[in-house]
Structure 1
Amino acid sequence: MTPFALHLLRHGAPVLPGRLMGRTDCAPTPDGIAACVAQAADLGVERVVSSDLQRARAAAEAIGPTTIDPRWRELDFGDWDGLAPDQVDSNALVRFWEDPDASPPPEGECWSSLVARVSDAIDALAPVPTLVVSHGGAMRAALHLLCGFEQRRLWAFDLPYGVLVSLRVWPGDKPSAQIVGIYP
């Protein structure tokens, strides 16, 4: 099949940065929205898709007409959701980062559940130039699925607020991709 461009854009800075914000619906800053709009300015996409959380949705809607897809949400951090990392038991947090399937946050989502829903979201994409405004965890899940990165290796990617990861995706039963650019 013919490849298509897929651009993954992490939402801009939220009003409460540096927190474990999975389902926490924190607003973005105006500067965070502006940074995302600037990243998307010359992409030439035919479709914009966004997580339903306002920190992603506000930027996507500022870019253009948007399809909302909650499968692009961040990992649900359960009881840790909305907390700063130093407010979480450090041993539990280390266990989570080492193996987020075996040690998910209490009442939270495991890594494989995030991967499964992002996989469904990828499968639903039309093979046209697309921008997805999402979250760091969902972007890492997409890189795992499309590029074959092991889960532990994904933490090596710095995905700051407003980062754009551009991919060339080959659709099919098992889609694959090549990273063509990372723009902080």
Structure 2
Amino acid sequence: MRQDIEGKITQECVLSPSLQQVNEPHDAKEDPQWDMELMLVRHGTTLWNKERRYLGHTDLGLLSGTEQELQPLQEKLQGHSFARIYCSDLMRCRQTLQIILPESTLSVMPPMMEPRLRELHFGEWDGQTYDMLKDVALYRAWIDEPQRITPPGGESWNHFVNRLREFLGSLFARRTALKVQPTESNAEPPSVLIVTHGGVIRQLACMLIPGHDFWSLNPKPGEASRIQLRWAGPHKCIARLLS
């Protein structure tokens, strides 16, 4: 099943606010006309990433020399056009966007800075490591049940999921208003670039792709994941992950 998920799987799904999804099987013989492709990019490496510290809303920039890490993605995106560009408003994502796309592209297609695309807020645990927290009972409980436990001064899991669900709803609303869809059945769908965080990419894939859990994807810094969508309603879509 894991190999099928990481290749191409097409099913109809409801974007549930929780990790549980209500899925309706989609006829695999049908080749849907894709409305949109999401290119989800995780930001480049920061000092806290390197030190394996929790990094949520603390506004750190990229490590010096990250341009080299992001160069392969920069080269892949040369000549690629986007219908829209969204970016977490935190510095590490903004800096990543400025490296992977030329200024000429950003001037023609100004990015939309989106606070809803921020990483989960870890509160008092931001900047801490596993070894620093492993003996804290509440932390151990959070690792086992993050949907039930909220980090002190941090963000609840429901709030995290709901803001991402609202973001997906805004994509549908903009797609409907602009009538964004391919004109031919074999045409590539309009591409939407989203520069964000590892946890956000994992959760969006979990919400969109049936059979995915939070850990099905493990995006590395500067890595892109692609999901194609066909909207069936404000919170309903057919989606597939491209390997």
Give your verdict on TM over 0.5: yes
Contact kept, 8 Å, 2:198 with 2:218, in 1: the verdict is: no
Alignment equivalent of 2:47, drawn from 5, 9, 15: 15
The superposition leaves residues 133-164 of structure 1 with CA deviations (integer Å, 9 ceiling, x where unpaired) of 101111122112211356xx322432221221
Equivalent in the alignment of 1:179: 241
Unmatched runs of 5 consecutive residues or more in structure 2: 1-32, 176-189
Higher alpha-carbon Rg: 2
Give the counterpart of 2:91 among 54, 57, 61: 54
Residue 140 (structure 1) aligns with: 202
Distance 2:65 2:57 in 1: 22
SS of 1:124's partner is helix
**Residue 118 of structure 1 is aligned with which of 136, 156, 164?**
164
For residue 56 of structure 1, give the secondary structure of its aligned residue in structure 2: helix
Query: 1:177, CA displacement in angstroms?
Result: 1.7
The alpha carbon displacement at 1:37 in A equals 5.3
Higher mean alpha-carbon deviation, 138-147 vs 56-65, is at 56-65
The Cα of 1:2 is off from its aligned counterpart by 3.9
RMSD, aligned α-carbons: 2.2
1: distance between equivalents of 2:222 and 2:114?
Answer: 19
> 1:16-51 CA deviation, whole Å, 9 max, x = no partner?
222111111111124434534532533542322110
Number of aligned residues: 179
Distance apart, 1:100 and its partner CA: 0.9
TM-score, structure 1 length as denominator?
0.85
Alignment of 1:146-157 (within 5 A): 146-149=208-211, 153-157=213-217
Q: Give the TM-score normalised by structure 2.
A: 0.66
d(CA) in 2 for partners of 1:117, 1:38? 31
The alpha-carbon distance between structure 1 residues 12 and 38, as it changes in their structure 2 partners (threshold 3 A), is same
Q: Secondary structure at the match of 1:120?
A: helix
Q: SS at 1:97's partner residue?
A: helix
1:75-120 CA-partner distances (Å, limit 9, x unpaired)? 0001101222222244433322322121121121122211111111
Report if aligned partners of 2:202, 2:218 keep a CA contact under 8 Å in 1: no
Residue 27 of structure 1 is matched in structure 2 by 61
